[in-house]
Structure 1
Amino acid sequence: MSDEVQPGFVRLRLDLSYDGTAFSGWAKQAGGRRTVQGEVEDALRTVTRSRDTYELTVAGRTDAGVHARGQVAHVDLPETVWREHHEKLLKRLAGRLPRDVRVWALREAPSGFNARFAAIWRRYVYRVTDNPGGVDPLLRNHVLWHDWALDVDAMEAAAKTLVGEHDFAAYAKKREGATTIREILDFGVRRHADGIVEIEVRADAFCHNQVRSMVGALLFVGDGHRGVEWPRKVLDARVRDSAVHVVRPHGLTLEEVGYPPDDQLAERQLQARRVRGRVH
């Protein structure tokens, strides 16, 4: 369970963002599909003139079409490579990476840091509009159009019933051997002046498809097809409900990842590894 950095290597933290539209998700896949991890690792290998590919570990493995504004990853580089390239590495990555992914910060990570296991929460926002005319063409890859008027107050009330630690089996794609228990720290809905509705959720971690399933349930409440109490009834049933739709991925953005103070990183990492199946 140890995550010690190997002798002769240095761990780096990367803060990055990407438009997920043209990516088949974060994680590398067989078959040559384009992924965020693949693009960043290729760029890192190229700009450091390395023969080896240094693998990234990420805070949240986003699915195909999902965006990120505040993604965090780490990579272990040989100290010799870091010393040679660190002053110009960020700018060189900017010149090598495609325009739909950016690394904004790259620095030595504190002791005990692990982008995935040291994280204490992830914050996502799903954006949707019920504008009768549809979505602003400039936002079409980031905002879902819902063609029924939405009652944001009802959606907010329903969201609050899902806050806390629960078994989210009814909203998750079950993975063999993994628990579906998660703790939602905050869940809220607001409408901005431009009419865009933001559904924001923060949790210790999320199951596969959990956020998009919960958003689907809230949209049914917002447009009047279900009552405010329905999402919680679905949760308590602990089985997938065919009425809960997994909404399209393009409205979802990973906005931020939270970490404890540096002196608590190692302990947090150990805690997360003890419940490995809970971390996504």
Structure 2
Amino acid sequence: MRLRIDLAYDGTEFRGWATQPGLRTVQEDLTSALTTVLRIPEGSLTVTVAGRTDAGVHARAQVAHVDVPDDSVAVAADQLYRLGRRVNGVLDRDVRVHHIGPAAEGFDARYSALWRRYAYRIADAPALIDPLRRREVLRWGRHLDGDAMNEAAATLIGLHDFAAFCKKREGATTIRTLLEFDWRRDDSGILVGHVQADAFCHSMVRALVGCVVAVGEGRRSVAWATGVLTGKQRDQGVTVVPAHGLTLEEVRYPEDAELAVRAQQTAARRTSTEAPA
């Protein structure tokens, strides 16, 4: 039986999503909690996620799936609701399961996704710095020109090879479709970057943000961002901004009838070693 899990977490104390020996990760904590609650042998579950977030990155709306033995959990919705509550009772408070339910036929948290949307938050003036939000907002010492950043960001939208903004992984493609990249100030004045793509490669969002921040400071021209993209290799002038300003905000899936087809299409054009992050 495949279950869909919707969850959120504060990534501050985690070394990212993916399990790493001797380190605390979201995948390890969630897998351990599920194993404990379902009373099944350790090592018998594999939790697959929509976006493998890096160390320090947060998620407001992460999605995962896990295959469990049919006899380990009742199908009844009320019992699955209690399963979510019991899992939360085992997890630390920086991870919360919002919902656990039967996955639709053909659902794959990673490959069925149409796109992922992240937000990056920057406080670029002393009056905007809120100590209560220090774990999710980057403090920046210079004023940033949001209009210039939007001009630069617009030149990066579309289907491209984003090798200049990705940490290389053996056998993994860096071709992505960037669907949205823009900057707006919220009601408090915080500058928020909205970044949406079919998938992201390792460190891509933080490198994209670092690139347009250099434009927003006036240190680089709008045309420079395009030059970085077409260079197809890491540019030393691009700073990968800190992880804590980044939050996964949404993952979108097609209608249930299209889930399996989407998963097959996505898997066919990616290598088995690649994962969005």
Shorter chain as denominator, the TM-score bin is over 0.9
Partner of 1:64: 55
Task: Tell me: CA distance 1:184–1:87, structure 2 relative to 1, closer, same or farther (3 Å).
Answer: closer
Counterpart of 1:40?
A: 30
Q: CA deviation at 1:181?
A: 0.7
Identity %: 53
Q: 1:145 aligns with which of 130, 139, 147?
A: 139
Q: What SS does structure 2 have at the residue aligned with 1:193?
A: coil
* 1-structure distance, mates of 2:28, 2:166: 26
- Contact 1:20–1:68 under 8 Å retained in 2: yes
The Cα shift of 1:47 comes to: 1.4
1:169 and 2:194 matched: no
| Contact preservation (8 Å) 1:117, 1:279 | no
- Residue 87 of structure 1, CA deviation: 4.8
Aligned AA (2:10): D
Q: Secondary structure in 1 aligned to 2:60? A: strand
Q: 1:200 to 1:87 in 2, by over 3 A?
A: closer
> Are 2:123 and 1:129 aligned?
yes
* Deviation readout 1:70-109 (Å, 9 max, x if unpaired): 1000001111111185352011112111000001010001
Gaps of 5+ in 1: 1-9
TM-score relative to the length of structure 2: 0.94
Structure 2 distance, partners of 1:16, 1:175, is 27
Indicate whether 1:77 and 2:68 are aligned.
yes
Distance across 2 between alignment mates of 1:74 and 1:212: 26
Unaligned runs of 5+ in 2: none
| TM superposition shift of 1:134 | 6.3
Please give the secondary structure, in 1, of the residue aligned with 2:68. strand
Partner of 2:4: 13
- 1:256 is matched with which residue: 239, 250, 269? 250
Amino acid at match of 2:61: G
SS in 2 for 1:232: helix
Q: Aligned residue for 2:230?
A: 236
**Counterpart in the other structure of 1:269:** 263
Aligned residues: 270
Tell me the SS of whatever aligns to 1:83: coil
Following the alignment from structure 2 to structure 1, what is the Cα–Cα distance between the partners of residues 179 and 163? 18
2:200 aligns to what?
206
Specify which of 72, 88, 99 is matched with residue 105 of structure 1. 99
Give the superposition deviation at 1:132: 2.7
